[in-house]
Amino acid sequence: MLFLLRSPLSIVIALLAFQAACSRPYESRRHSPKPNLPIPTKVNEDQKQTADVSQLLTINGDGPHYEYSDPCELALRNTLRTIVIQTPAGAEIPPDQELRGTLSMYERGQPGQSNPGLVTDILIKLRGNSSRSFPKKQFAVESIGGNGKGIELPLLDPSCPAGQKWVLNGQYADKTLMRNYTALNLARRLNVYAPRSAFVSLYFMVDGKPTFHGLYVLTERIEVSKERVNLQKPTAEDPSGGYLLRMDRVDPEKLALDGATEVGLMVDNVKKDKLSPAQTSYIQEYHDRIREVLGQSMVVPEDSPLHHTHWIDTASFQSYLLLRELFRDVDTYYLSTYLTKDRGPNAKLKMGPVWDFDLAFGNANYGYNGATEGWQFDFADSQIALWMRNLMRDPKYAEQTRSRWKGMREGPFSDHNLSSFIHETLQHIAPEARENFVRWPILNELVWPNRQALGSHLAEVQDLHDWLIKRARWMDEALR
Per-residue pLDDT tens for 282-334? 999 999 999 999 999 999 999 999 999 999 999 999 999 999 999 999 999 99
β-partners of residue 339 are 245, 351
Give the pLDDT band (50/70/90) at residue 132.
confident
Question: What are the C-alpha distances in Å from 474 to residues 268, 283, 327, 465, 467?
Answer: 35, 38, 12, 14, 11
pLDDT of residue 57: 59
Give the pLDDT band (50/70/90) at residue 58.
low
What is the DSSP code (8-state) at residue 114?
S
Cα 92 from chain centroid (whole Å)? 25
Please check whether residue 56 is in contact with residue 40, taking contact to mean a CB–CB distance below 8 angstroms: yes
Helices (H), 23-82: 45-50, 53-56, 71-76
> Among 212-221, 233-242, 360-369, 386-395, where is mean pLDDT lowest?
233-242
Task: Tell me how far apart the alpha carbons of residues 130 and 173 are, in angstroms, rounded to a whole number.
Answer: 10
| Burial track 405-418 (b if 16+ CB lie within 10 A, e otherwise) | beebbeebbbbbbb
Give the whole-number percent of the chain exceeding pLDDT 90.
Answer: 79
pTM of whole model > 0.85?
Answer: yes
| Burial track 12-38 (b if 16+ CB lie within 10 A, e otherwise) | eebbebbeebbeeeeeeeebeebeeee
Q: For the residues of 149-214, what is the DSSP string, one character each?
A: -B--B--S-TTSPPBSEEEEE--SS-TTS-HHHHHHHHHGGGT-----EEEEEEEEEETTEEEEEE
Q: β-pairing, 197-206 with 80-86?
A: parallel
Give the pLDDT band (50/70/90) at residue 196.
very high
Give the pLDDT band (50/70/90) at residue 47.
very low
Question: Is residue 321 a part of any domain in this protein?
Answer: no
Question: What are the C-alpha distances in Å from 206 to residues 87, 115, 118, 316, 369?
Answer: 9, 19, 20, 46, 40
Give backbone dihedrals phi and psi of 477, rounded to 5 degrees, phi first.
Answer: -70, -40
Task: Tell me how far apart the alpha carbons of residues 367 and 449 are, in angstroms, rounded to a whole number.
Answer: 11
Give the whole-number percent of the chain exceeding pLDDT 70.
Answer: 87
pLDDT higher than threshold 90 for residue 14 = no
Mean pLDDT within 355-375: 95
Question: What are the C-alpha distances in Å from 114 to residues 1, 181, 276, 302, 388?
Answer: 9, 27, 52, 63, 52
Tell me the torsion sign for CA atoms 221, 225, 231, 234.
positive
Question: Is residue 90 a part of any domain in this protein?
Answer: yes
pLDDT of residue 93: 95
> Among 46-50, 54-58, 257-261, 437-441, where is mean pLDDT lowest?
46-50
Residue 162 burial (10 A CB sphere; 0-12, 13-18, 19+): middle
Give the pLDDT band (50/70/90) at residue 59.
low
pLDDT higher than threshold 90 for residue 419 = yes
pLDDT of residue 3: 43
pLDDT higher than threshold 60 for residue 179 = yes
Q: What is the pLDDT of residues 420-433, one digit of tens each?
A: 999 999 999 999 99
Its domain, for residue 201, covers 8-24+74-169+194-220
Q: β-pairing, 349-351 with 337-341?
A: antiparallel
* Peptide bond preceding 150 in cis form (omega within 30 of 0): no
Q: How many residues does the chain have?
A: 480
- Residue/partner pairs of 252-256 with CB below 8 Å, 24 or more apart: 255/280, 255/283, 255/284
pLDDT of residue 37: 27
pLDDT of residue 62: 72
pLDDT higher than threshold 90 for residue 9 = no
Q: What is the mean pLDDT of the chain?
A: 88
Three-state DSSP at 229 gives: strand
Give the pLDDT band (50/70/90) at residue 443.
very high
Q: β-pairing, 118-127 with 337-341?
A: unpaired
Please check whether residue 51 is in contact with residue 456, taking contact to mean a CB–CB distance below 8 angstroms: no
Please tell me which residue, 237 or 63, carries the higher pLDDT value.
237
pLDDT of residue 1: 34
pLDDT higher than threshold 80 for residue 61 = no
Question: Is residue 92 a part of any domain in this protein?
Answer: yes
CA Rg value for the chain:
23
* Peptide bond preceding 449 in cis form (omega within 30 of 0): yes
Q: What is the pLDDT of residues 453-467, one digit of tens each?
A: 999 999 999 999 999
Count of alpha carbons within 13 Å of 240, Cβ hemisphere only? 10
Question: Is residue 210 a part of any domain in this protein?
Answer: yes
pLDDT of residue 128: 83
pLDDT of residue 112: 76
**Amino acid identity, residue 182?**
T
> Among 16-25, 45-54, 178-187, where is mean pLDDT lowest?
45-54
Among residues 318, 309, 431, the alpha carbon closest in space to that of 377 is found at 318
Among residues 286, 284, 340, the alpha carbon closest in space to that of 313 is found at 340
If one counts the domains in the chain, the total is: 1
Mean pLDDT within 250-277: 94
